[in-house]
Amino acid sequence: MLAQFMVQSASRIEQRSWEKQLDQALQKQLRNNQQQAIDSALDHLFHTDLEAYDGLLDAVEAVSSSCNMEHAGKQFDVLLLAMPILAWTRFSISSGPIPDAVLQTISTELYAHVLAQGTKAAITPTLFSIDQLPRTYCDTYQLTRRMAEAALGGMQLQQPAELPETAPFLADTRLLLITVTAEAGMPLLRWQEEQAGTNLQTATQQALGQWQAQATPAIQKLLPGCGIELLLPEAYYVACRHGDKMIRPISIRAAVYYLTHALGVDADQLCAVVAGIGEESNEMGIDEYRISFSVADNPDVFYGVVWPLYDEESGEEELQVLSRRLPIAAPMAPLQQIISLLREAGITKIEKPEVLFPPEFCDDCGAPLFCDHEEEMVHAEMPEEAAQQGGHLH
């Protein structure tokens, strides 16, 4: 109800009053590990009041990844950041412990180019994959506060006791987690400072350019055999979504590159089927696209890439985009982006079934199933004689 009252407010004062009460309620639930109650509220609002759902989701993300903390008699603002690294390879993408020397270099460059003057930060000594991050909002809440205490106390964070295995993808994101603290009301990030100027886009682009130039050599050591691109550290949930979006086109390019080499074919011998995936009961329609790859004159699906849709993205603009060569211009509908990328990579045989397929997965290994030329959902498998790269692209 508090989320609904907040979005229905007729004034900023009223909105802030409801927002404060909502934050206090969420603080209590997160502190007491009441994840089920939060999930139930989100699920209810998703089906009954999307505006309130968005308001509650924003509040949960904010409260779990930021806070105000007292230290040495002073109040400090705390924000959990994530720094995405886009990585692609024909081999494997590393994750796990970061050597002390590399961690020190990363810390130095963060203070020099990203974090505001006078801040204190703590960096996890671990390079994470998406499936190794906190699983719930309650977990994120606890991690944010534990890292804040380390930052304010000048303590070094310890390696996690155990991390889940990382799924093998040809293109994937890796993330560094950083908690930055500053005295209450002071800037946390370099582009918030007065001397950064009034053009936020220019200030952030300058910070990104400097960060990429100075930090890439150190981070490249953590990802041998990979091409990498550093994105700007941002608020935790925003950065995770941004990384997921930015890796999608790289996943398609990596898939085509891998398949042409593993199968010994040219790109124009490959065929692609772009299938819309979603639940029929979901009024939002398509949740993701699954791109199946096969070879001309062979019906088998050899590889698949999943292209999830986020936020305002929609599959509704898909009609008739297959009938013409598309210019590369922004903004483009997701389906247009996919087809443009496939054509850029040299694939000319592209099919788009009109059917909305349910999100099916393999009962044995849990891998997503992909649409073949007969519009059947099947397992993507490389032929035995081809060079193997375990797993599937996402």
Quickly state the pLDDT bin for 92 (edges 50, 70, 90): confident
Q: Are strands 234-235 and 227-230 parallel, antiparallel or unpaired?
A: unpaired
Q: Are 307 and 388 in contact (CB under 8 A)?
A: no
Strands 270-277 and 171-183: unpaired
What's residue 314's pLDDT?
Answer: 61
Residue 162: predicted pLDDT:
79
What does the DSSP assignment read for 9-42? -SSHHHHHHHHHHHHHHHHHHHHTT-HHHHHHHH
What's the confidence (pLDDT) of residue 299? 86
CA distance 33 to 50: 25
pLDDT tens digit sequence for 3-47: 888 988 989 999 999 899 999 999 999 999 999 999 999 999 988
> Percent of the chain having pLDDT more than 90?
70
Distance of alpha carbon 31 from the chain centroid: 25
Sequence-distant (≥ 6) Cβ neighbours of residue 112 within 8 angstroms: 210, 214
Backbone dihedral region for residue 73 (phi beyond 0: left; psi -120 to 50: alpha; all else: beta)? left
* pLDDT classification of 315: cutoffs 50, 70, 90: low
Has residue 324 got a pLDDT over 50?
A: no
What does the angle CA 326 – CA 241 – CA 245 come to, to the nearest 5 degrees? 20
pLDDT tens for residues 134-178?
999 999 999 999 999 999 998 888 877 778 888 778 999 999 999
| The pLDDT value given to residue 329 | 47
| Length of the chain measured in residues | 394
1 to 45, 57, 58: CA distances (angstroms): 10, 13, 15
Q: What is the pLDDT of residue 163?
A: 82
Considering only 111-115, 205-209, 325-329, which range has the smallest mean pLDDT? 325-329
pLDDT at 327 (0 to 100): 46
Residue found by looking up tokens 């990498």 in the block: 228
Q: What is the CA radius of gyration of the chain?
A: 23
For the chain, helix, strand, coil in percent to 5 are 40, 20, 35
CB within 8 A of 105, min separation 6: which ones? 215, 218
**Is the pLDDT confidence value at 377 over 60?**
yes
Confidence of residue 118 (pLDDT cuts 50, 70, 90): very high
Q: What's the pLDDT score for residue 196?
A: 63
- The label of the residue with tokens 């949740």 reads 287
Q: What is the mean pLDDT of the chain?
A: 88
Does the structure show a pLDDT above 60 at 283? no
Query: 358-367, pLDDT tens digit by residue?
Result: 999 988 888 8
What pLDDT shows up at residue 197? 64
Residue 328 has pLDDT above 80, yes or no: no
